[in-house]
Structure 1
Amino acid sequence: MFSTHSAYALVSVILCSSTYKYVEWKGGINEWGDGIRGLALSTAQYSLMQISEKSKDPKNWRPQLLILQSMPGSKELFDLRYLNLLNFASQLKAGKGLTIVVSLLRENPSNENDVKSAKLIKERMEKDMKERDLRGFAQILLYDEDQIISSSVNTLIQSSGIEKLRPNTLLLSLPTKQVEKEDEGSEYRSFTDKLLAGAVNEMALLVVKGITEFPKNDVTLTGGDLDVYCFVQDGGLCVLIAYLLKRSEVWNRCKTRIVAVARPQENSAKLKKQIKNYLDKLRIDAEILVTKLNDSELSINEANDDKTETKGPKKVQGTASSDERMKALDRKKANKRHEAIRLNKLILEHSRNSQLVLFPLPKPPLFEDEVDDYIHYLEVISDNLEKVVFVRGTGAEVITSKA
């Protein structure tokens, strides 16, 4: 028809398209009460329903961020760490994918003034995200003085997003050493609740140390190293985070270095070749260093501690049994401290002057009373390092050459 009567054909296409859009618009009015907005909502609903929650394909996995931040009760008192977390998220996401920023406010959700104040803070958050080209959603969670924040955070993580449009990565800032740990509403206690909730809900975890020292979006680093520490069977998530950061103008002039940490019995040349082949498949340009942990007694000591702890009650009864368990626990803590010191020494040897260090995040503890030792372990590992990102995946992430 276009070859014989192109004008009539063009008019027919325009009429058909107009009729189709008009029907969609009327449907939007009937379903949502607003034509233009209803059309967008209908399209979004249809797209979400087309993607099944059960059809999870981890290939080409990307971090979809959930940022949890405890905020002051005034929109004028915004924390620099919160703003720098937004900067870091923007550099990591490059304006793509899903980001949900949630501020936790200890206010009365039934108080009208507190609700109005929360709306003002949300408006400020949306403005901050827009200024940093961070596409996503801002939310406020109000909780009472008598509410337990851990329950609120758990509920929040479970209910964030819709179907497949859900965050899969929790981004947190490591609290400073000066924070009072005894206060139930302190940043330290809030951090532990968020960390445990994220781990329980099978989210990937990004814990940032020294967030106030991270560059803003208008800064371009002129050089330096972006060091990625990898252990055997790491999963490659640290490498992916480094790759995503390198796409940002802030970090793209930095040189990526992969520091592979091997045991003494492993073949360094073979390991280096395997890593190079892996990076070549991902088309990632990086220098590869292989270093070994000479202290091979670490894992043996930990294994012995576990055996002592389980066998102790069978051999000793009453108070003696309790004392034996305490001694075993103290030995295990001492071994972990020694391990953290060794790792810190290793990192400082290679990365003391690096722009950023990405390090695998150890598995979070299952119980709340173990969190203090866990955070101290992270502090010792990253001691004398300005900027560190601890990274932990869920094991479901698959990174391919289409990265």
Structure 2
Amino acid sequence: MQIMRSDHNNQANEIAAADSGHNFGTFYGVVLPSILTMLGAIMFLRVNYITGRAGLIYSLIILAVAISIVMATALSISAISSNTPVKGGGVYFLISRTLGPGFGGSIGVTLFLAQGISIPFNILGFAEAVCSDFPSAASYYLVIALATGLILGIITFTGADLAMKFQVLIFIALGIGILTMFAGALIHVSPETFQANLEPVQGARFGRLFAVFFPAVTGIMAGVNMSGDLKNPSKSIPRGIIITILLGGGLYLLEFLLYGAAFNRDDLMQNPYKIIVDNAPFGTGYLITLGVIAATISTALGLFVCAPRVLQALAKDSIFPQLSGLAKGHGVHNEPRRATLVLVIITIAILLWGGLEGLSPTGMSTGMNMVAEIASMCFLLTYAMVNLAAFVESYGANPSFRPRFRFFHWSIAMYGFVACILVAFYIDYIAATAALVIAWGLFLYIKHRQFEVDFGDARRGFLYSRIRMNLYKLARTPVHPKNWRPTMVILSSRPEMQFYMPYFATMLESDRGIISMVQFVECRVDSDAFGMRDQYRKQLAGILEQHEIYSVFPEVVVCKDFDKALYIFLQSHLVGPLKPNIVMMGFPDNEERIDQNIRHIRTIQTLHMSCVMMHNFDRYRRLLRRVVRGRVDIWWRGTNNISLMLILANLLVNDPLWQGTTLRILRVAETEKEAGELRDELEGIVESARIKADTCVFVTAEPFYLVLRRESADASAIFIGLCPPDSDEEFHKIFQRFNIMLDGMAPAFVVTSSGGADLRA
């Protein structure tokens, strides 16, 4: 459990919330809109229908699952909202500041649609109730629904203050209607009826029944979305939504039990609303009518108030440029009138779609059920992301995650997330898949826009936590050649001229390792040098970004002596078990650089690392970002370097731009007998290494450099090994011979292996 407090955050919440909102308290700002949304059309028009078809046992299971999901979500919301200053936008604000703008934007749209769809759902319920009480009005069912939608939109357009005043009156009427409804059932309760209604009817579709009921318990979002109008969101939201769930859940439980024990199954299914009105005590059916009108209107009005605020928050964050005009508010309370107008248009469109079929012969609206199923899917997806956000915050163990709300653990959020996804697929796996695909599409759209904003979200903390734990596990895992991966350090003195080095390094790494590019700056080390280091590092990062090389980490070292600094850097450039195993650098093209490279290779050898030197690449920039055809030649002259050369060459030819090339392994033999043995050896190695490559053995007494220049004259790239001799003088001569041998040839990778890579693993 998280048990933490922060008076500073509490003050920040108050200031943030008070900037432009109404400063509502817990009851008016959270409980009232939430409970009025929760006790809506379903309570009067669909609970009895569900009880009749599902039976009491399964009806209570539906209620229990729904309440458990909503309660888990409420605890997640409470933890997040009491950990960060909350502004307008409610759940959208919380998710975007936890999982980032990608998830926040996609779920913000989903939440807006869920609440927007729930408005016509309740308006259709209102029209159904009116037509049931006044049968002569049945032919005007759609007209009543459209007129109601317009009137509620106009009331909301004037501002939340007027809407809230209406809600207080509605709350009183709703309370009287619910008491009358319960009293009418209580006088008819019998044990025999209770027993008869326990089991479901044959063919009952519990997924669809759950979908019809679930919008009834989603009212807490109406209170959460008033976050920008609350005096103290961090206190009001947790208290208000939990009170709402306990009160609303208790009332629904009482309704299921009373009506399941009072009336026979056929009446419950065929006349779910009429049975309530007809059995009101002392002829007070009009109070039921008043109650259902209050319930449906209050829910629609509450959603009309809160849903536009989600759209306004999306527009303010510039998540979708097309919505930028909706960010503007009106009046001292920043009323989202433009967003309200959009919502009115959506409401009218859904009413026209859902209300065209009119009422069924039993007086029920089929369109209302369809709208409920769509709303349930949107709400489940939204609740899943809310719980995921809380899980990421808590399980990621961010030090900044210090919620004042005490009754929360990451396992609660994980249950909420899993339950939402499973229930969504149980209701309709096709619709659930479509909803996830649409949400994912919105996420990718936002991501591909390269949305630049820093919400201080929890993704970094979660990733840090996973990396930390995996580093500990990796450190305890025995090293085996089968798990070898390239971890490269690129040495560059002129990164602006040598950007081809990280480009080809990413191909050799092939998304299987880690690459760093380090620039050593020799200078006098003082306080000014470290400021210069930051400047050089920004330049290096800019060069990599300019050439779209995003998988290379830039690093800069300021030092007095390059050789000493390299020795220290290669030892210390690690995090736990992650340390470099390959150093990449340019091949020396002059006498001074040869001596320098010899010292570097000695250092690299001492630290048991491999070395890859790039020859001729500064003349082959035409290969960058282009599809390469042809052949990659690997010259095998000994056993020390062949494994690493073959692994790297195989990674290179598997790059999408190099897949048009083939591998060829070449050896030189002095006699036919030796050639036969070498061919068998090459074929065996290729087979055991599971690498597709051609083999070729030449029998010749010519100098090796002539054979290489002739046979690889048309190659696209060359791999060749270099075994450092003990003598620096001999090493110097080898570099000179390599320069002569490779001059004017294809780009060449000169490889010196430490032996850590095993081709046959």
- Give your verdict on TM over 0.5: yes
**1:172 counterpart letter in structure 2:** M
**1:133 counterpart letter in structure 2:** I
* Secondary structure of 1:139 counterpart: strand
Q: Per-residue displacement from partner, 1:217-275 (whole Å, max 9, x unpaired)?
A: 31222x32211112353542221121111122332212221112345375434432442
* Secondary structure of 2:482 counterpart: coil
Match of 1:289 among 665, 687, 696: 696
Residue aligning to 2:615:
209
Unaligned runs of 5+ in 2: 1-57, 77-386, 403-455
Q: Per-residue displacement from partner, 1:87-112 (whole Å, max 9, x unpaired)?
A: 21122223442011110111223141
Superposition pairs for residues 312-331 of structure 1, below 5 Å? none
Instruction: Say whether 1:28 aligns with 2:399.
Output: yes
Alignment partners' CA distance in 1, 2:391 and 2:664: 54
Match of 1:66 among 477, 489, 500: 489
Alignment partners' CA distance in 1, 2:477 and 2:513: 20
**1:292 counterpart letter in structure 2:** V
**2:739 counterpart letter in structure 1:** E
Alignment partners' CA distance in 2, 1:166 and 1:266: 44
Superposition pairs for residues 263-282 of structure 1, below 5 Å? 263-264=670-671, 266-282=673-689
Alignment partners' CA distance in 2, 1:351 and 1:165: 37
Alpha-carbon offset, residue 400 of structure 1: 4.5
Alignment partners' CA distance in 2, 1:257 and 1:143: 43
Alpha-carbon offset, residue 150 of structure 1: 1.7
Alignment partners' CA distance in 2, 1:171 and 1:387: 14
**1:127 counterpart letter in structure 2:** G
Residue aligning to 1:7:
66
Q: Per-residue displacement from partner, 1:5-62 (whole Å, max 9, x unpaired)?
A: 453564477568566544345653389xx88344433332222112226721111523
Identity of aligned residues (%): 17
Q: Per-residue displacement from partner, 1:128-174 (whole Å, max 9, x unpaired)?
A: 33433341321111112xx3x22211111111111221110011111
Q: 1:294–1:10: structure 2 CA closer, same or farther, 3 Å change rule? A: farther
Q: 1:250–1:202: structure 2 CA closer, same or farther, 3 Å change rule? A: same
Between Structure 1 and Structure 2, the one with more strand by share is 1
Q: 1:232–1:69: structure 2 CA closer, same or farther, 3 Å change rule? A: closer
Superposition pairs for residues 3-402 of structure 1, below 5 Å? 5=62, 6-8=65-67, 10-11=69-70, 20-24=391-395, 27-29=398-400, 36=458, 37-52=460-475, 55-71=478-494, 78-80=495-497, 82-112=498-528, 114-130=529-545, 131-144=547-560, 147=561, 149-177=562-590, 181=592, 187-215=593-621, 216-221=623-628, 223-234=629-640, 235-264=642-671, 266-292=673-699, 294=701, 342-361=703-722, 363-366=723-726, 368=728, 370-400=730-760
* Secondary structure of 1:231 counterpart: coil
Q: 1:90–1:25: structure 2 CA closer, same or farther, 3 Å change rule? A: closer
Residue aligning to 2:414:
none
Alignment partners' CA distance in 2, 1:27 and 1:387: 47
Residue aligning to 2:220:
none
Alignment partners' CA distance in 1, 2:573 and 2:398: 28
Q: 1:238–1:266: structure 2 CA closer, same or farther, 3 Å change rule? A: farther
Q: 1:106–1:383: structure 2 CA closer, same or farther, 3 Å change rule? A: same
Q: 1:381–1:23: structure 2 CA closer, same or farther, 3 Å change rule? A: same
Alignment partners' CA distance in 2, 1:58 and 1:132: 32
Greater Cα shift, 387-396 or 367-376: 367-376
Alignment partners' CA distance in 1, 2:549 and 2:535: 20
Greater Cα shift, 243-252 or 128-137: 128-137
Q: Per-residue displacement from partner, 1:157-205 (whole Å, max 9, x unpaired)?
A: 111111221110011111213xx52xxxxx4444333222112211111
Q: Is the 8 A contact 1:29 1:35 kept in 2?
A: no
Alignment partners' CA distance in 2, 1:379 and 1:25: 53
Q: 1:378–1:134: structure 2 CA closer, same or farther, 3 Å change rule? A: farther
* Secondary structure of 2:583 counterpart: strand
Alignment partners' CA distance in 1, 2:697 and 2:538: 48
**1:166 counterpart letter in structure 2:** K
* Secondary structure of 1:233 counterpart: coil
Q: Per-residue displacement from partner, 1:289-331 (whole Å, max 9, x unpaired)?
A: 1123537xxxxxxxxxxxxxxxxxxxxxxxxxxxxxxxxxxxx
Q: 1:12–1:79: structure 2 CA closer, same or farther, 3 Å change rule? A: same
Q: 1:197–1:132: structure 2 CA closer, same or farther, 3 Å change rule? A: farther
Alpha-carbon offset, residue 127 of structure 1: 2.8
Alignment partners' CA distance in 2, 1:352 and 1:291: 15
**1:255 counterpart letter in structure 2:** T
CA root-mean-square deviation? 3.1
Unaligned runs of 5+ in 1: 72-77, 182-186, 296-341
Residue aligning to 1:327:
none
Alignment partners' CA distance in 1, 2:594 and 2:638: 31
**1:162 counterpart letter in structure 2:** V
Between Structure 1 and Structure 2, the one with more helix by share is 2
Q: 1:133–1:95: structure 2 CA closer, same or farther, 3 Å change rule? A: farther
Q: Is the 8 A contact 2:506 2:515 kept in 1?
A: no
Q: Is the 8 A contact 1:132 1:217 kept in 2?
A: no
Q: 1:212–1:27: structure 2 CA closer, same or farther, 3 Å change rule? A: closer
Q: Is the 8 A contact 2:488 2:580 kept in 1?
A: yes
* Secondary structure of 2:537 counterpart: helix
Q: Is the 8 A contact 1:229 1:360 kept in 2?
A: yes
Q: 1:268–1:104: structure 2 CA closer, same or farther, 3 Å change rule? A: same
* Secondary structure of 1:28 counterpart: coil
Alignment partners' CA distance in 2, 1:25 and 1:163: 20
Alignment partners' CA distance in 2, 1:50 and 1:375: 42
Q: Is the 8 A contact 1:232 1:262 kept in 2?
A: no
| TM-score, normalised with respect to structure 1 | 0.72
Q: 1:176–1:233: structure 2 CA closer, same or farther, 3 Å change rule? A: closer
Higher-Rg member (1/2): 2
Alignment partners' CA distance in 2, 1:107 and 1:225: 44
* Secondary structure of 2:625 counterpart: coil
| TM-score, normalised with respect to structure 2 | 0.40
Q: 1:294–1:8: structure 2 CA closer, same or farther, 3 Å change rule? A: farther
Q: 1:57–1:132: structure 2 CA closer, same or farther, 3 Å change rule? A: farther
Q: Is the 8 A contact 1:104 1:141 kept in 2?
A: yes
Q: Is the 8 A contact 1:258 1:289 kept in 2?
A: yes
Q: Is the 8 A contact 2:588 2:594 kept in 1?
A: yes
**1:210 counterpart letter in structure 2:** N
- Aligned residue-pair number: 332
Q: 1:151–1:30: structure 2 CA closer, same or farther, 3 Å change rule? A: farther
Q: 1:150–1:277: structure 2 CA closer, same or farther, 3 Å change rule? A: same
